[in-house]
Amino acid sequence: MISNLIGVGYWFNYDQPHFPDPGTLVKTDFDVNYINEIIYLLENAKTKSFSQMGFSWCRFRCGSENMGNKELTNGKYIWPEGLAHYVKEHKILLPIDFLESLSNDYYEISDEYIIDYNFWMDFCNKNKISKLETYKANYDIGHLFIELKTNYSENSIKIINDFTKNERIGSKKLDLVNKLTSDRFVRFIGRFYGLKQFIINMEKNGVLVEFLPFTDDEYMKYKNGDIVLGGIGK
């Protein structure tokens, strides 16, 4: 017999671009105790798991490596293993009916199932709390283009050093500064925090900065190790 399951926590991707952006469900005033309660429910629900095609990655591109590759079901709802991460790290809202079911329901199901996403799509459409979009958050990963104008201030080099603090690109930072001072222009790949403020500060110091976030395609390559943080180019 084929089971009918209600899907929760599915996000946009290439094949399903109509799915929601988790950024729109971010609720910044969540109480810590409430978040812990939800995490507890997600981590302690009785579930059966199915393997997905590949490891999933956080749509906020926060760099978390622990998103899992399973789908979990309690026989009524089905959700990706990485859902707890979105609540814990990004404070997203989840449907109450779903949360209640985690502690109340468990039904055995066969390995054959179909997922109905209508409940989830409805919930997301009705509960858009934030205008935050994942790719336009304060931090992002991608290509940073830096160009020193003729009147650049020496202080800007110090600001660049502070800005590229990411430990994963630590050793490449010197190359970045060297190339920048010799060529006046550099493209640097990294994960950057506080990008908007950085761009403003740089402009005050005679430096042009542009940022191009990774496309989904590039992000997948990065996850596979084909693009490395700290990469320098033209």
- Residue ranges in contact with Zn ion by CB under 5 A: 58, 60, 62, 64, 89
Q: Name the residue nearer to Zn ion (CB basis): 141 or 146.
A: 141
SS (H, E, C) 115-127: EECHHHHHHHHHC
Please identify, using beta-carbon distances, which residue of 76 and 85 lies nearer to Zn ion.
85
Instruction: Look at the block and give the residue holding tokens 């079901």.
Output: 73
Query: Minimum Å distance from CB 93 to Zn ion?
Result: 15
Q: What is the Cα–Cα distance from 27 to 169, expressed in whole angstroms? A: 31
Number of helices and strands in the chain (H, E): 8, 9
In angstroms, the CA 192 to CA 202 distance is: 14
For Zn ion, the closer of residues 60 and 120 by Cβ is 60
Please identify, using beta-carbon distances, which residue of 59 and 172 lies nearer to Zn ion: 59
Closest alpha carbon to 228 in 201, 185, 189, 199: 189
Nearest approach in angstroms of CB 89 to Zn ion is 5
Minimum separation from the CB atom of position 73 to Zn ion (A): 23
Q: How far is the CB of 90 from Zn ion (least distance, A)?
A: 6
d(CA 143, CA 25): 27
Separation of CA 174 from chain center: 28
